[in-house]
Amino acid sequence: MKATKAKELRDKSVDDLKVMLAKERMALHEMRRKAGFRDLKDTQSLKVQRHNIARILTVISEKGGGEN
């Protein structure tokens, strides 16, 4: 799992960010499910995924994107 750079996110539109946010949240949900069943080997990726979601939410709020 690779951390998303805030600079890359600021170049995207709010609609693109919202789509990306939905995908990241689905991926986090899937990772949590795998962790619950002990199928996830890289538990550090959960932290990275949460930080990516936080970065996206921050950029959306900076741009005045409204609701999450």
Q: Which domain holds residue 23?
A: 6-62
**15 falls within a domain:** yes
Is 17 domain-assigned?
Answer: yes
**pLDDT, tens only, 45-63:** 999 999 999 999 999 999 9
pTM equals: 0.87
Asked, for residue 22, whether it belongs to a domain, the answer is: yes
In a domain, 1, yes or no: no
The number of domains in the chain is 1
Residue 68 lies in a domain: no
Distances (CA, A) of 53 to 2, 19, 39, 47, 58: 12, 12, 22, 10, 9
Residue 46 lies in a domain: yes
* pLDDT tens string 13-44: 999 999 999 999 999 999 999 999 999 899 89
* Domain-located, residue 45: yes
CA pair distance 21, 2, nearest whole angstrom: 15
Judge whether 67 lies within some domain: no
